[in-house]
Amino acid sequence: MVKKPSEINVFLSWSGSKSKKIAEILREWLPRVHNYIRPWISTEDIHKGAEWSKSLRKELKKADVGIICVTPDNIESPWLLFEAGALSQTGLVCTYLFDIKPEDLTKSPLGLFQLTHAKKKDTFRLLVSINKALGKSAIQENILEENFEDLWPYLKGPLKKLK
């Protein structure tokens, strides 16, 4: 019997229109780079008619990784802080900084987490961390890098349009 590889649940946290767009772009892009990544975002993955708060709590509990999409207008967002706190109980919390500097987070609890700039080198390092979290189901880093290099333009282009 062939054992199915593990998957990793990635919770995409957002607050505000720009942050939401970044999370939506990541939702489409991440599984293309690594097919064991299962991203989740509230705007797309809560079914119509479902009780949204119940769905949100369930996904926060089962998340292995949280990516918090941080922009200049949401650094102190109560939702981001709530979700980061919940995610820190179950897995990795990765801030994904767009148009802000690390020092902008010094007064925010989000500054406690190892940050990722929305730039090529740092985004790849984020993927390496997610891949390592897969344990035995991780793919070889050189394969991950090839996938990343091939697909980086599909993330870079839409992010550039948001600037």
Which string of DSSP letters, residue by residue, matches 129-146? HHHHHTGGGPPPHHHHHH
> Percent of the chain, pLDDT > 90?
83
pTM comes to 0.94
Whole-angstrom distance, CA of residue 6 vs CA of residue 36: 7
What integer is the mean pLDDT of 61-86? 95
User: Could you tell me the residue ranges of all domains in the chain?
Assistant: 8-162
Rg (CA), the chain: 15
CATH of 8-162, one of 1.10.8, 2.30.29, 2.60.40, 3.40.50: 3.40.50
What integer is the mean pLDDT of 83-112? 92
Contact 126, 26 (CB under 8 A): no
Q: How many residues does the chain have?
A: 163
Per-chain mean pLDDT for the chain: 93
pLDDT for the residue numbered 108:
87
Q: Which residue has the higher pLDDT, 3 or 136?
A: 136
pLDDT > 80? residue 73: yes
Structure tokens at 115: 């940050």
Of 15, 33, 20, nearest to 151 by C-alpha is: 33
Strand ranges across the sheet with 115-117: 37-40, 8-13, 65-70, 92-97, 115-117
Whole-angstrom distance, CA of residue 124 vs CA of residue 70: 18
Residue located via tokens 């080198």: 121
pLDDT for the residue numbered 65:
96
- The distance from CA 120 to its chain's CA centroid, rounded to whole angstroms, is 15
pLDDT for the residue numbered 2:
44
pLDDT for the residue numbered 3:
45
